Chain A
Amino acid sequence: MRHIISVLVENEFGVLARIAGLFSGRGFNIESLCVAPTTDPTVSRITLVTSGDDRVLEQINKHLNKLVNVIKVSDFSTVDHVERELVLVKVTADAKTRGEVLSVVNIFRGKVVDVSSESYVVEVTGTEDKIGAFIKLLRPFGIREVVRTGVVAMFRGSPVLAAAADEAPAPDPEGQEGRLAREGSEADFV
């Protein structure tokens, strides 16, 4: 199953490598990754998308929670959330196709952020699906380059993922533990 995991960390070198190590050590690929400081410049927020066995991912989440520089961890996959990604696409747009490209961009509520005689750079935000659909529609015009930021996510409603204890708590980190305790599957070692 696909998981979006957000991790608040001390904004220091080496933290990202240790987090990535928890995934690579189990042969998990990180499909997208986004890192930036929060309103508190000493705290960074890492959002990553990965997919794999749910039980192993719960184990990874618990191990994330053990890393000294990790402040909080949240897996968005089972809670109500919004997610967005931003993409820049450099697409061929000459005098003949310009209008058509523009109408696709408008349908996706995108913006043209750079124009040259034979290309546009356009910007679109949305879910991974929306961005996938957008890229698909532009493909016939000739895509020259694509860059995506990776997914970011936030809880819907009032819960927040925040470093300070006095802000509203993230929903139900304990629930997961209970679930795992009941369901722990029984892999055999050889």
Chain B
Amino acid sequence: MTSLPEAKRAERHPLAGTTMTGADMIVQVLADEGVNTVFGYSGGAILPTYDAIFRYNAAHTKDEEMRLVVPATEQGAGFMAAGYARASGKVGVFVVTSGPGATNCVTPIRDCHADSVPVVLICGQVPRAAMGTDAFQEAPVFNIMSACAKHVFLVTDETKIEATMRSAFELARSGRPGPVVVDVPRDVQLSQGLFQGVGQLQLRGYDERQRALNHAALPDGTAKDFFRLLGDSERPLIYAGGGVINGEAASELRAFAQRFNVPVVTTLLGIGAMDTTSELSLHMLGMHGTAYANYAVEDCDFLFAVGSRFDDRVAGKVKEFAPGAKIAHLDVDASEIGKVKGVDWAYVVDAKRGLAQLTRAGKGFRKDFSRWVKHVHDLKSQHPLNFNRESPLVQSEEVLAVLNEITKGDAIVSTGVGQHQMWAAQYLDFRSPRTFLTSGSMGTMGFGLPAAIGAQLANPGKLVIDVDGDGSIRMNLGELETLTTYDIPVKVLLLNNYGDGMVRQWQDLFYANRYSGSDKTLHKKDFVRAAEADGFGFVRRVTTRDELRGALEEFVKYDGPAFLEVITDQNAHVYPMIGPGMGYKDMITGKYITPRTEKDVAVDKNAGF
């Protein structure tokens, strides 16, 4: 079903017409797609492709080389590819063997799907004749991955390997991006065929929907409706999500917000879409969002959701989410419109195109929102983030606040999952998109370290920091060695509170302090010695507040892989917090953040807020 070569003679691929193996075709398409780094772990069923990579590199100069990065486990390869993709916007590639190699990739594939990250996974499979016989290292990859990936190909026809590979890249990056799995039986990798140099599989439905999406024109009526809603509002708010970053629409979002003077809250995955240090940014909303962002959501009368999806960490109690607001929703995925919350206006388009079209359509629009902007600035100054500044114990928030003073929002930061992840989202600034890499939807512990490796390889000159927790880092601790093996200068900042802090927080709040399975005080792990054993040149442990700044400065400055462990307060909680299934008005601000009083609310109401 390969479409006929449409390219003109002049654009003919130099290798078109060459006889090569399926494995060579896989590697050639990777090269044509501009892949310079492949993450993966070898094994029997994928050996022909690994050999093809070796031969490709032997035949090319160092500059053209396809770098192969071997992790400790396939899950690590998956999150490295994800980190690479999230930080660069390019498709991340990982290549693994059949059976356990492939099943170890289920978690990163599902994680990428849930966060819309474009990756291509190539799995070896047992030879066609052995499939379905419970062969050695056989797993039903097509079936398993079908439930987790954007799309799965099982290449049973060797003449389609080349077109399938090209289609895999196209599918991964187009529309709402996502993971694509290509399962290739060993004998298909070994089969000989003529390389075409062009052509993709025919995917009529998908291609047609893609074409429609790429040519979406904002209907006049839709534009008018939008500006009527905006014009009727006094307190508009933009609620931007990961779709803005995936859609490379950060500059369009910033231009839109500036042009109409509308403040912006972002989701966890939307962090970096706005420069968090900018005037109109209110940082993150939701369960652990800033108090001022959540108050703004409560107060707004028009909420414009862009590339965000009202997920349960944002709108835990849907009926009470932005209760006074008309809602507009712009998203690339039609199935997100109205999924959770009914909307008053919707437009299915990618964020970049949609925001640019709206900004143009609103050329003549005039409305002064400066009173509202002043109001949200007041919220920002009256209810800032805060933490226990009196305790002799090091607070994770302080570590991150000091780190932020050093990096000033210019570092790429990955995280694990839990308290440290939320604090990193709250206390660090992010000036550009693709600088905050975190497992948002799936919440996969162990994401941070391999993701940082991928991000660093995609951005060799940049400062990349993995902010991790002791629970999370344990899950992929083997990748510490990958850092030093390849001399990847990632900075690993471990906030060690001897336990699963977020679980402990919930057990404090909802399970009467019964720390079932979450306390690790008696665990014997010495992370510093582990990092030393893995060959880190900079290794340090901080236990007191006065060492903190000096240690962080040296750590960030160190030229090479660096490991810094900070022992933090085990009993600290992340605030603000909107409990599961609760509305924004039930937000708990904790001991250190100044909440809004009934009186404040009454005063605001009188002032029209």
Chain A positions within 8 Å of B151 at CB level: 68-69
Q: Is A185 in contact with chain B by the CB < 8 A criterion?
A: yes
Q: Is A181 an interface residue (CB 8 A)?
A: yes
Given the interface contacts A14-B154, A65-B209, does A181 sit within 8 Å of B204 by beta carbon?
Answer: no
Closest to B176 in A: A66
Instruction: Name the segment of A17-25, A116-124, A130-138 touching the other chain.
Output: A17-25
Q: A10-B204, A62-B334 are in contact. Are A188 and B147 (CB under 8 A)?
A: no
Across the interface, which residues of B come within 8 angstroms of A71, CB to CB? 204-205, 208
Q: Quick check: B334 and A177 within 8 Å, CB to CB?
A: yes
Indicate whether B171 reaches chain A with its CB closer than 8 angstroms.
Answer: yes
Chain B: CB-nearest residue to A40 = B204
Does B590 make an interface contact (CB < 8 A)? no
Min CB–CB distance B356 → chain A (angstroms) = 22
Closest CB-CB distance, B209 to chain A, in whole Å? 7
Whether A184 lies near B209 (C-beta < 8 A) is no
Q: How many residues of A contact B (CB 8 A)?
A: 36
Beyond A21-B147, A25-B147, A65-B209, whether A177 also contacts B318 by CB under 8 A is: no
- Chain A's closest residue to B336 (CB) is A62
Least CB distance, B330 to chain A, in whole angstroms: 12
User: Min CB distance, B121 to chain A, in Å?
Assistant: 15
Are B204 and A163 within 8 A (Cβ)? yes
A10 cross-chain contacts in B, Cβ below 8 A = 202-205
Q: Given contacts A71-B205, A165-B208, is CB(A183)–CB(B318) below 8 Å?
A: no
Rounded to whole Å, the gap between the CB of B467 and the closest CB of chain A is 27
Give the total of B residues in contact with A, Cβ under 8 Å: 40
> Chain B residues near A188 (CB, 8 Å)?
316-319, 581
Task: Please tell me which one of the listed residues A18, A68, A190 contacts residue B171 in the complex, with CB atoms under 8 A apart.
Answer: A68
Say yes or no for A111: interface residue by CB 8 A criterion.
no
Is B298 on the interface with A (CB-CB < 8 A)?
A: no
CB of B150 within 8 A of CB of A63, answer no
Interface string of B130-162 (1 = CB under 8 A from A): 000000000000110011001110101000000
| Interchain nearest-CB distance for A97 vs B (Å) | 48
**Within the complex, what minimum Cβ distance (angstroms) separates B224 from chain A?**
16
Which parts of B304-328 form the interface with A (CB within 8 Å)?
312, 315-319
Contact B147 A65 (CB under 8 A): no
Contacts of B333 in A (CB 8 A): 66
Chain B: CB-nearest residue to A66: B335
Please state if A14 and B335 are interface contacts (CB–CB under 8 Å): no
Interface hits, A72-89 → B, CB 8 Å: 72
Mark B565-584 against chain A: 1 for CB-CB distance below 8 A, else 0: 00000000000000011000
Tell me if B340 is interfacial: C-beta within 8 Å of chain A. yes
A170 at the interface (CB under 8 A from B): no
Query: In the bound complex, do residue A42 and residue B208 qualify as a contact, i.e. CB atoms below 8 Å apart?
Result: no
Name the CB-closest residue of B to A183.
B342
CA distance A59 to B339 in the complex (A): 7
Given known contacts A63-B335, A181-B338, A189 and B204 CB-to-CB distance under 8 angstroms: no
Q: Are A65 and B335 in contact (CB under 8 A)?
A: yes
Q: Is the CB of A21 within 8 A of B334?
A: no
Specify which of B143, B205, B333, B342 lies most central, judged by the most chain A CB atoms within 10 Å of its CB.
B205
Supposing A59-B335, A180-B338, A186-B341 touch, asked if A17 and B146 sit within 8 A by C-beta, the answer is yes
Q: Does A8 contact B (CB under 8 A)?
A: yes
Residue of A nearest to B311 (CB): A189
For residue B447, give the distance in angstroms from its CB to the closest CB of chain A: 23
Is B102 on the interface with A (CB-CB < 8 A)?
no
A42–B333 Cα gap in the complex (Å)?
27
Q: How far is the CA of A112 from the CA of B146 in the complex (A)?
A: 44
Please tell me if the beta carbons of A185 and B342 are within 8 angstroms of each other in the complex. Answer: yes
Residue of A nearest to B345 (CB): A181
Q: Which residue of A59, A66, A184, A189 is within 8 Å of B342 (Cβ)?
A: A184
Contact for B318 among A66, A165, A189, CB less than 8 A = A189
> What's the least CB distance linking A25 to chain B, in Å?
7
Residue B365 lies at the interface, judged by CB distance under 8 Å to chain A: no
- B271 CB within 8 Å of chain A: no
What chain A residues lie within 8 Å of B580 (beta carbons)?
189-190
B338 touches A70 (CB 8 A): no
Instruction: Tell me which residues from 157 to 171 in chain A have a Cβ below 8 Å from any Cβ of chain B.
Output: 163, 165
**Is B342 within 8 A of A181, CB to CB?**
yes
Q: Which residues of A contact B340 (CB under 8 A)?
A: 184, 186-187
Q: Roughly how many angstroms separate A182 CA and B329 CA in the complex, as a whole number? A: 12
Complex CA–CA separation, A101 to B135 (angstroms): 54
Tell me which residues across on chain A come within 8 A of B348, comparing CB atoms. Answer: 177
| Shortest Cβ distance from A164 into B: residue | B204
A65 to B209, CA, bound (A): 9
Determine how close the nearest CB of chain B comes to the CB of A136; give it in whole angstroms. 39
**Given known contacts A10-B204, A183-B342, A68 and B150 CB-to-CB distance under 8 angstroms:** yes
User: Smallest Cβ distance from B187 to chain A, in angstroms?
Assistant: 18
Q: Contact mask B178-214 → A, CB, 8 Å, 1/0?
A: 0000000000000000000000001111101100000
Are B205 and A14 in contact, CB atoms less than 8 angstroms apart?
Answer: no
Contacting residue for B341 out of A9, A18, A184, CB 8 A: A184
CB distance from B110 to the nearest CB of A (A): 13
Q: Give the CA-CA distance A59 to B154 in the complex, in Å.
A: 27
Knowing A14-B142, A71-B204, A190-B580, the reply to whether A181 touches B312 (Cβ < 8 A) is no
- B469 nearest CB across to chain A (Å): 25
Contact of A42 among B1, B315, B316, B319 (CB under 8 A): B1
Report if B452 contacts A (CB, 8 A): no
Instruction: Give the CA-CA distance A188 to B316 in the complex, in Å.
Output: 7
Besides A163-B204, A182-B338, 9 new A-B residue pairs in contact (Cβ under 8 A), listed by A number: A18-B146, A25-B147, A66-B335, A69-B206, A70-B205, A186-B318, A186-B340, A187-B318, A189-B315
Q: List 16 A-B contacts (CB under 8 A).
A: A9-B205, A10-B205, A14-B142, A14-B146, A42-B1, A42-B202, A59-B339, A67-B205, A68-B171, A163-B204, A180-B337, A180-B338, A186-B341, A188-B316, A189-B316, A189-B317
B→A interface (CB under 8 Å)? 1, 142-143, 146-147, 150-152, 154, 156, 171, 176, 202-206, 208-209, 312, 315-319, 329, 333-335, 337-343, 346, 348, 580-581
Query: Which 5 A-B pairs rank lowest in CB-CB distance, beginning with the nearest?
Result: A184-B338, A189-B312, A71-B205, A62-B335, A184-B342
